[in-house]
Amino acid sequence: MSQRRFARSLAIRHLVCGSCNGCELEMNALAAPQYDISQEGWSIVASPRHADLITVTGPMTEAMRLAARRTLEATAEPVVVVAVGDCASGEGTWCGAGSAGAGAGQELKASIVVRGCPPTPDALREGLRAAATLLDERNS
Amino acid sequence: MYRERTVPLSELPAALDEAMHGALPLGCYATNRTVRTLLLSNVGVLALRTPLSVGEAWESLASRYPLFAYHEREMRALQGIELRSSPDLRPLYFRADAIPEAIIAEGKGVSVVVVGPVHAGIIEPGRFTMSTGGESVVHLDAQLSYSHRALEPWFEGRDALALAPQVARICGNCSVARSWAYARAIEGLAGIELDEGTEYARLILAEMERVHVHLFDLGNIAAGAGYGKATTAALGLRERINQLNHAVSGHRLLFDSIVPGGVRAGTLSDPASTRAILREIRDDIVRFTDAFFARRSVLRRLDGAGIVEESLARRFGAVGPSARASGIACDVRALAPYGAYRGVAFSEERASAGDVYARSDLRRREIERSFDLLDRALRELDIAALPMPAEIAAPPAGVITTVVEGARGAESLSLSLGSDGRVERLHVISAAYRNWPLVTRAMEGNIVPDFPLVNKSFNLCYSCVDR
């Protein structure tokens, strides 16, 4: 719980890889006044070039695989990937179903996993705080 | 009620013309080589059943009725049905190494802007290719299917009674509506009638879903208009509904609250306090919308943007708020009432301008109607007992389609069961599926910076479209 940890801002690029949109509804809730992630210095950015963190949802789909890889490649190192939700973590309803993959976070080698179907905003905030700490370590 | 009529392919166009009078076309789908064309009217769902013989191609309906174009492409992709005279033979699904090329306008001064499939906000994936002349959009091509997981083939052969959690997760926006449609399909095949308390509880859950989705839409429309304060306010109000959702169902988005046979045990255990909390939230929502719709600079952005004419909405078979804002009566709660809607004499909201303002204002009014319904149903539920879900033995073999009104419009679910209670076919026609073509047409002649605004005035799902 260092000062430094809370001083870290996060530029987040959100990547949807076959999610049901439930995780997105909860990610969006983070901007509600009850959570207000802007107070933490966190923002959702319009390009992977601006990002130092990728949040990813869904089991991964055939059609998204290339765009997902390119998004990650376009982000400057060090970058932290956060698997948001059960599907991205590899344990969700649609992992391995139909043509879906085994979890987008698994494929993109996520360092942080936030479980839930979908995760609550509180769980997301905790996961992002852990990601900020990890980024700090990788940057130092 | 669900009825089927067998119509040979050669007689289908005439039969369809006749059946369309006074009915809402839902689309068509195939089970192996049998195609069902679905319509909804005040007597329920009518399926025109057309078996195709071996090697027989489907004579496309899309030239005459463009609303069938997506459905026919899907039958081709998933059931391998050959299409004849189709105006659009592009593959519906694709792999990342073979993404279909967008249709773009050609001509002097035309330039092309592409966004997606990964976007600047927290939204689902789609690629939008705008052909522009100066700032104006000449043509918009929407490439969906990035979320395609081939879920419908996966359902086949599985135990229908065990699939409710999966059905609830086809799309997070329409979860309650789809769970309700699925429960009704199974109960319809099993011949189960539900008690009044359960029906009121389902109505309450469905209206709470509508309120949180509509509030989110209004917040997104505000964002599209550059009015950040209203976006934050709408998200704050939605959050209060999500917290109440959790209190009444154990889930912030109400997943799994409606199950075949009833509602999950423990749901809505304290109707009186739920009603009191909703009254407080309602007052704050009215204060918010009154302020939002009084803001002249915002109204200037909403007025006249992204117009959809009624005739266009009809040709594409639009449903839900997107269609009602263009004057089309299509609210399933009024057209073909089900569950507790049968007893509440619901009358639907409509507008005529078909622009972003109309779609926004319609949501504001629909939220108020939802609160009316919630207040009444919670009062009824306070008196009625809410029983445990009915035990369903293996439902008998059969085919059925049920339709409910979700936040985006008519949500249709078709289920074919074999004699062992296993799924032969589970097909979803989501309201968003019906409405996507409108978004592309609504943008024509509008300026590029209005794309987020126009798009969010529909705010359609991808997940239940792509499946």
Q: Which helix (H) or strand (E) holds B29?
A: strand B24-31
- Residue B320 neighbours by CB under 8 Å, 6+ apart: B330, B405, B406, B407, B408, B409, B410, B431, B434, B435
Helix, coil or strand: residue B173 = coil
DSSP single-letter state for residue B82: P
pLDDT, averaged across chain B: 95
Distance of CA A42 to the CA centre of its chain: 13
Q: Which residue of B has its CA nearest to A24?
A: B122
Q: Residue B232 is nearest to which of A26, A31, A120, comparing CB atoms?
A: A31
Amino acid in position B19: A
- Spatial separation of the C-alpha atoms in residues B6 and B399, rounded to whole Å: 13
Q: Do residue A64 and residue B117 have CB atoms under 8 angstroms apart?
A: yes
CB atoms within 10 A of CB B191: 9
pLDDT-above-90 percentage for chain B = 92
- Spatial separation of the C-alpha atoms in residues B206 and A112, rounded to whole Å: 34
CB B354 within 8 A of CB B223: no
- Kindly report the backbone phi and psi dihedral angles of residue B36, in degrees, each rounded to the nearest multiple of 5, phi listed first: -115, 125
- Kindly report the backbone phi and psi dihedral angles of residue B431, in degrees, each rounded to the nearest multiple of 5, phi listed first: -60, -35
Q: pLDDT per residue over B206-225, tens digit each?
A: 999 999 999 999 999 999 99
Amino acid in position B369: R
Candidates B90, B149, B166: best to mutate against A (most CBs of A within 10 A) is B149
Rounded mean pLDDT, B98-115 = 92
B5 to chain A, closest Cα gap in Å: 32
Sign (positive or negative) of CA dihedral B412, B418, B422, B425: negative
User: pLDDT confidence of A65, banded at 50, 70, 90?
Assistant: very high
A133 to chain B, closest Cα gap in Å: 23
Residue A33 has pLDDT above 50, yes or no: yes
Q: pLDDT per residue over B32-74, tens digit each?
A: 999 999 999 999 999 999 999 998 999 999 989 999 999 999 9
The torsion of the CA quartet A44, A49, A52, A57, rounded to 10 degrees, works out to 60
Distance of CA B200 to the CA centre of its chain: 22
Q: pLDDT per residue over A69-107, tens digit each?
A: 999 999 999 999 999 999 999 999 999 999 999 999 999
Sign (positive or negative) of CA dihedral B238, A105, B143, B114: positive
- Spatial separation of the C-alpha atoms in residues B141 and B131, rounded to whole Å: 8
Q: Do residue A28 and residue B125 have CB atoms under 8 angstroms apart?
A: no
Query: How is chain A split into domains, by residue range?
Result: 3-139
The CATH number of the domain covering residues in B151-434:
1.10.645.10
- Spatial separation of the C-alpha atoms in residues B362 and B302, rounded to whole Å: 13
Q: Which residues of A98-137 are buried (b: 16+ CB within 10 A; e: fewer)?
A: bbbbebbbbbbebbbbbbbbbbbbebbbebbbbbbbbbee
Strand partners, A75: none
CB B17 within 8 A of CB B60: no
CB < 8 Å to B149, chain A: 18, 59, 61, 94, 97-100
Q: pLDDT per residue over A102-122, tens digit each?
A: 999 999 999 999 999 999 999
Amino acid in position B51: P
Query: How is chain B split into domains, by residue range?
Result: 2-84, 96-143, 151-434
DSSP track, chain A: --HHHHH--EEEEEEESS--SHHHHHHHHTTSTTT-GGGGTEEE-SSGGG-SEEEEESS--TTTHHHHHHHHHTSPSS-EEEEEHHHHHT-STTTTSTT--S-HHHHTT-SEEE-SSSPPHHHHHHHHHHHHHHHHHHH-
Rounded mean pLDDT, B307-314 = 96
CB B245 within 8 A of CB B225: no
Regarding pTM above 0.90, the answer is: yes
CB < 8 Å to B146, chain A: 18, 61, 63-64, 67
Q: Do residue A46 and residue B461 have CB atoms under 8 angstroms apart?
A: no
HSE-CB at B171 with a 13 A cutoff on CA atoms is 28
CB < 8 Å to A118, chain B: 172, 253
Helix, coil or strand: residue B19 = helix
User: pLDDT confidence of A1, banded at 50, 70, 90?
Assistant: very low
CB atoms within 10 A of CB B271: 22
Q: pLDDT per residue over B18-35, tens digit each?
A: 999 989 999 999 999 999
Strand partners, B5: B48
Peptide bond into B13 cis (omega under 30): no
- Spatial separation of the C-alpha atoms in residues A100 and B148, rounded to whole Å: 8
Sheet arrangement for strand A112-114: A42-44, A10-16, A53-57, A80-84, A112-114
CB < 8 Å to B231, chain A: 31
User: pLDDT confidence of A7, banded at 50, 70, 90?
Assistant: low
Q: What is the pLDDT of residue B386?
A: 84
Q: What is the pLDDT of residue B307?
A: 97
Q: Which residue of A has its CA nearest to B117?
A: A67
Helix, coil or strand: residue B310 = helix
Residue B279 has pLDDT above 60, yes or no: yes
| B229, burial (CB in 10 Å: exposed 0-12, middle 13-18, buried 19+) | exposed
| B353, burial (CB in 10 Å: exposed 0-12, middle 13-18, buried 19+) | middle
HSE-CB at B352 with a 13 A cutoff on CA atoms is 0
Distance of CA B303 to the CA centre of its chain: 25
Peptide bond into B117 cis (omega under 30): yes
Q: pLDDT per residue over B148-193, tens digit each?
A: 999 999 999 999 999 999 999 999 999 999 999 999 999 999 999 9
- Spatial separation of the C-alpha atoms in residues B123 and B453, rounded to whole Å: 14
Candidates A15, A25, A45: best to mutate against B (most CBs of B within 10 A) is A25
Q: What is the pLDDT of residue B34?
A: 97
Q: What is the pLDDT of residue A137?
A: 87
Name the least confident of A62-66, B95-99, B248-252, B280-284: B95-99
pLDDT-above-70 percentage for chain B = 100
Could you tell me which CATH class the domain B2-84 is placed in?
alpha beta
Q: What is the pLDDT of residue B97?
A: 82
Q: Which residue of B has its CA nearest to A13?
A: B120
Rounded mean pLDDT, B261-275 = 94
User: pLDDT confidence of B281, banded at 50, 70, 90?
Assistant: very high
How many residues does this entry show for chain A? 140
- Spatial separation of the C-alpha atoms in residues B130 and B56, rounded to whole Å: 38
CB B436 within 8 A of CB B144: yes
Write down the architecture of domain A3-139 according to CATH.
3-Layer(aba) Sandwich (3.40)
CB < 8 Å to B122, chain A: 14, 24, 27-28, 44
HSE-CB at B154 with a 13 A cutoff on CA atoms is 17
Q: pLDDT per residue over B364-403, tens digit each?
A: 999 999 999 999 999 998 777 788 888 898 889 999 999 9
